[in-house]
Structure 1
Amino acid sequence: MVSMEVKDLEKSYGKTKVLKQVSFNINEGEITILAGPNGAGKTTTIKCILSLLKKDKGDVLIYEKSIKDKQVRERLAYIPENPDIYPYLTVWEHLKFISLAYRLEDWQEKAMKILEMFNILDKKNEISKNLSKGMKQKVSISMALLHEPKIFLIDEPFIGLDPKGIKDFKDILKILRDEGKTILISTHILSSIEEISDRLIIMKKGRILVQGTREELTSIAGFQGKMPLEDIFLKITDREKA
């Protein structure tokens, strides 16, 4: 099932057009990678989807309803490259903050289960400035999960993580996918995500070059057999003059 449809997004800064009729779909229960070189427009696309940036044209549909509806936007969760948490709040105080923001009732038991699932229950009373980036990401995801969003948009999650942090984060993504969540990850570090990705969207200079499954993109790139996503990505971006 298509859970999110992005239709003809356009965005300019002055006379510079940074998004050019960006359109794609992502499916429920899949991990989709939004890949592209630095400056391709990945973060701008995500921020326009979330209405953090005002788009010039286009629309975003969540389960066939426009994202202009506030209740529809509440079905999304955003995890930025640098976890947006408060340095002097404890892990538990962050979850309490979310419960108040979304007017959640009887949230404590669920919050405990989420922290236990991500192995940070023992950090419940730790202030955030003392946490590693990997731990901060877990707190950020825990906050996002508390109000039960359907779709996660994650921007460059692997920058600054050590190998264990990367493994832990991938384990979290698997859990979310198994729960039927929709996940869109913006990254250019394809080697860290390829074994759990379902679909790939490749951008360059503000427009979509190709999108599809690994097998479909392998064929588009002119390869045979199972090729690393980085090789597929480089072949397609090198030959396309966007």
Structure 2
Amino acid sequence: MMIQIDQLTKLYDDHLAVDQLSFELSAGKICGLIGPNGAGKTTTMRCMAGLIPATRGELTVAGCHVSGDSLQLKQRLAYVPDDPPLFDDLTVGQHLEFIGRLYNVDDHRTKANGLLSQFDLLSKINAGATTLSRGMRQKLAICCAYLFDPQVLLLDEPLTGLDPPGIRSLLLSVRKRADAGATVVISSHLLAMIDDVVTHLLVMQRGRLQYFGAAADLRSQFPHAKTLEEAYFAATSNESGLPESAALDQVLEIKNMASDLTEPTLDHLALPRSESLGEASL
């Protein structure tokens, strides 16, 4: 198994952020990590990446014990957080030059140019990081993560700020990485976007595991659910006792996205019932 998480528990003082989470994921799989805000998704990823220590539990990622093999883990894993930090004093090209040298990537400049072209950043190669839009910063961080071909990719809300072509490029690249043997964990509130890419789903709520398994199996547990969103709402509302409308208040629902990874278009947008389109901040 490429990822083995056994009884992961994380406490912040008296707040239980992750509660005895266990799952395994093999090479070449793409796992969608989903749940409402505060479910423990980012904390789980940060523990897996070795950025924060688990309070309890055994975590093995890419053959490394997270608590003890930190150097080897960094060579095999890439974590891209939501709103990734960049070096303000470096250009786009210098970021990739730094990563290429740090990881001793063969022919890193040719590879870097290919990634920048793939994510439509080649024209920004000499631009400073502070001049980039949110979406461009996100794409640059993903290029840096891809450059050294990590065995495990942890992508926390990677679709944030991306335009439709950027979303398409990212999802295609995730599928390509998995086909080459990488294991990918991707968190997103845009469930319809990742529906056609993920092989597995890990659903969390209030720090606890609600479901883990094949994406298709989640729908089979809720036969009335026609979409991933509906199955997700059913899975989370069952534990909480909340009606489906309450679950809708926690997750942005986008339906009828293009399912073949062509350029996405929005046909339906569901907002919290208490907000009008003019009042909602998206």
Matches within 5 A, 1:1-242: 2-67=1-66, 68-69=68-69, 70-104=71-105, 106-221=107-222, 223=223, 227-241=226-240
**Farther off after superposition, 118-127 or 151-160:** 118-127
Q: Which has the higher contact order (CA 8 A, sep 6+)?
A: 1
- Shift of the alpha carbon at 1:178? 2.9
Measure how far apart 1:239 and its partner are. Answer: 0.7
Residues 189 and 105 of structure 1: is their aligned pair in 2 closer, same or farther, counting only changes over 3 Å? closer
Unaligned 5+ segments in structure 2 are: 242-282
Residues 63 and 97 (structure 1), Cα distance of their counterparts in 2 relative to 1, 3 Å cut = closer
Q: Is the 8 A contact 1:118 1:172 kept in 2?
A: no
Identity of aligned residues (%): 36
- Displacement after TM superposition at 1:97 (Å): 1.8
SS in 2 for 1:212: strand
* 1:137 positional shift: 2.1
1:78: how far off? 0.7
- My pick for the range that moved more, 196-205 or 78-87, is 78-87
How far 1:199 sits from its partner (Å)? 0.8
**Aligned-partner Cα distance in 2 for 1:220–1:74:** 38
> Is the Cα contact below 8 Å between 2:155 and 2:186 reproduced in 1?
yes
Aligned-partner Cα distance in 1 for 2:118–2:54 = 37
CA 1:214 to 1:189, structure 2 compared with 1: closer, same or farther past 3 Å? same
CA shift, 1:241, in A, is 3.5
Residues 116 and 135 of structure 1, relative CA distance in 2, 3 Å threshold: same
* Structure 1 gap ranges (5+): none
CA shift digits 1:135-187 (9 cap, x unpaired): 22221122112222111001112233333332232233223223222110112
Are residues 202 and 16 of structure 1, via their aligned partners in 2, closer, same or farther at CA, if it must alter by over 3 Å? Answer: same
Matched position secondary structure for 2:98: helix
User: Partners in 2 of 1:14 and 1:87 — Cα distance?
Assistant: 33
User: 1:46-85 deviations in whole A, cap 9, x for unaligned?
Assistant: 0111121111111221344422212133200011111221
Q: Contact 1:8–1:23 at 8 Å: present in 2 too?
A: yes
Aligned length: 239
Q: Which amino acid aligns with 1:215?
A: A
Q: Distance in 1 between matches of 2:239 and 2:51?
A: 30
What is the CA-CA distance between 1:15 and the residue it aligns to? 1.7
> In structure 1, what is the Cα distance between the partners aligned to 2:219 and 2:74?
34
Check 1:63–1:96 CA distance in 2 against 1; reply closer, same or farther (3 A cut): closer
Higher deviation after alignment, 25-34 or 199-208: 25-34
Give the C-alpha shift of residue 91 in structure 1.
1.1
> Normalized against structure 2, the TM-score is what?
0.77
RMSD, matched Cα: 2.1
How far residue 131 of structure 1 moved from its aligned partner, in angstroms, is 2.5
Kindly tell me: are residues 199 and 14 of structure 1, through their superposed partners in 2, closer, same or farther at Cα, counting changes over 3 Å? Answer: same
Report the Cα distance in structure 2 between the residues aligned to 1:186 and 1:83, rounded to whole angstroms: 14
